Chain A
Amino acid sequence: ETGVTQTPRHLVMGMTNKKSLKCEQHLGHNAMYWYKQSAKKPLELMFVYNFKEQTENNSVPSRFSPECPNSSHLFLHLHTLQPEDSALYLCASSQDSGGGQPQHFGDGTRLSIL
C-alpha cells in the first residue's frame, strides 16, 4: 500500500456535475493538504487540515468544499466548476502542520472540466 493514495486518477466532468476526490494516507500522519497544480504554474496550497480541523483555506472558491472525517482521509467535493479549474489536484500529508518537515504527496487526480 503506497503512502498517500488518491482516487480517481483522472476525472472528466461537466460544469454542472457534482463529484468528489478522495485521498487516503497510510503514514500515520495528522496533517493533510490539498494542492492545485495548473500547467506551467507552481503548486498552490488550497486547504490544510491538522488533527481533522481545518486550519487553512487559501481563498479557495466555495465551489471546492473539503471534508476530513478522520486523520487518514481527506475529500474534495466539487460542484459547478469552471473550465479554469482543470488542473492536477494533489493531496499531501505530514506528521503535523508544524514547520520543518516534508510533505508526502499522492499521485494526484487529473481533472478536466468540459
Chain B
Amino acid sequence: DQQVKQNSPSLSVQEGRISILNCDYTNSMFDYFLWYKKYPAEGPTFLISISSIKDKNEDGRFTVFLNKSAKHLSLHIVPSQPGDSAVYFCAASSGTYKYIFGTGTRLKVLA
C-alpha cells in the first residue's frame, strides 16, 4: 500500500504560468516532507522541505504548502520556466531517515 501518492503522472504548463504539483499521504505520523527534482540521467536534486509545524515554506519561485488535516502537500512553481521541466518527487518521513517517496510527476513547461 503506497503511503505517499502522486496521482498525476504528468503535467503541462505554459511558460510564465503557475505549476502546481500535488502529493497525498496516508500516515498521520509523517512530520517532515521533501520535494526533489530529477532531470533525465541525473539523480534527484533536493528542492525544498517543510516540517509539520508549518503550513507553508517558500524559497524563491518555489513554495510548498502543507494541509495536515487533508494529508495533502503541494509544490507551487511561479513563474514556471522551461528549465523547470523535470520529474518531481515528494517524500515523507516520521522523524527518521526513512523517507517514503512518491512515484513522481513529470512536469513539462511549454515555451
Contact = CB atoms under 8 A, between A and B. Distances in A.
Interface of A: 4, 6, 31, 33, 40-43, 45, 48, 56, 90, 92, 94, 97-100, 102-108
A48 B97 contact: yes
Interface string B7-33: 000000000000000000000000110
B46 A103 contact: yes
B42 interface: yes
20 contacts: A42-B2, A42-B4, A43-B91, A43-B101, A56-B97, A90-B43, A97-B97, A99-B31, A99-B94, A99-B96, A99-B97, A100-B31, A100-B95, A102-B46, A103-B46, A103-B99, A104-B46, A105-B44, A105-B45, A107-B41
Given A42-B100, A42-B102, A100 B51 contact: yes
Contacts of B32: 99-100
Given A42-B102, A99-B95, A99-B97, 5 more contacts: A42-B100, A42-B101, A97-B96, A100-B95, A106-B43
Nearest to B34: A102
A98 B89 CA distance: 21
Nearest to A102: B46
A94 B97 contact: yes
Contacts, number: 60
Contacts of B34: 102
B49 A33 contact: no
Contacts of B45: 105
B85 interface: no
Nearest to B2: A42
B43 A108 contact: yes
A42 B46 contact: no
Interface string B84-111: 0000010101111111111110000000
Centre residue among A42, A56, A98, A104 by max chain B CB count within 10 A:
A42
A105 B101 contact: no
A104 to B, nearest CB: 6
B98 to A, nearest CB: 6
